[in-house]
Amino acid sequence: MIRATLDTNIWLSSILWTGRPYWIRKAIEGKEFISVTSLKILNELTRVLREYFQFSDDDAYEWYLRVGEMSEVLSPKLTLNLIEDDPDDNKFVECALEGRARYVVTRDRHLLKVKEYEGVRMVDDGKFIGILKG
C-alpha cells in the first residue's frame, strides 16, 4: 500500500475547495493509500485554518481530529536541515522518512525543488493522482 505525507497546502485545499487535493483526501478516506502525518503538521493545519481562514477554534480542532483519525500520526525524532530556504518545510520530509512514506505531496516550490531525498519523492498533487491511478 502506498504511504504518503501531505503538505499543509494540500490538506487546506482539500478542506476549502474541490479539485485534486479534495480527490486525494477522498482517496485517503476510501483507504486507497495511507496518509502519514505528524503533530507538527496537524498543529500547523489548525493554526492556518484559524489565522488565515477564520475558522473557529472548534471547527479548526474538528479538522485536527478528522485528519488525525484518517492518518497515521507520528512525532518524528529526526531533525533535518534539508530545506535551507524554508526550514519549516523540513517537517514534511522528517515525517515521511520516519513514517516510511514514499511520497511528500505538495505544491511548495522549496520541497518540489528537492525532488527526492533518501527514497522519498516530492511530487505535486497531479503527479500523485497519476501514481495512485497507476
Q: Is 55 left (phi over 0), alpha (psi -120 to 50) or beta?
A: beta
Q: Which residue ranges make up each domain of the chain? A: 3-133
Placement of cell 483507504 in the chain: 31
Say which CATH topology domain 3-133 has: Rossmann fold (3.40.50)
| Residue 48 buriedness (CB in 10 A; 0-12 / 13-18 / 19+) | middle
pLDDT at 29: 97
pLDDT at 85: 87
- What's the maximum distance between 2 C-alpha atoms anywhere in the chain? 39
pLDDT at 84: 86
Average pLDDT across each block of 10 residues of the chain; the chain has 134 residues. List them in order: 98 97 98 98 98 98 98 93 90 97 97 97 98 94
| Predicted TM-score of the model (pTM) | 0.96
pLDDT at 87: 92
φ, ψ dihedrals at 105, nearest 5°: -95, 120
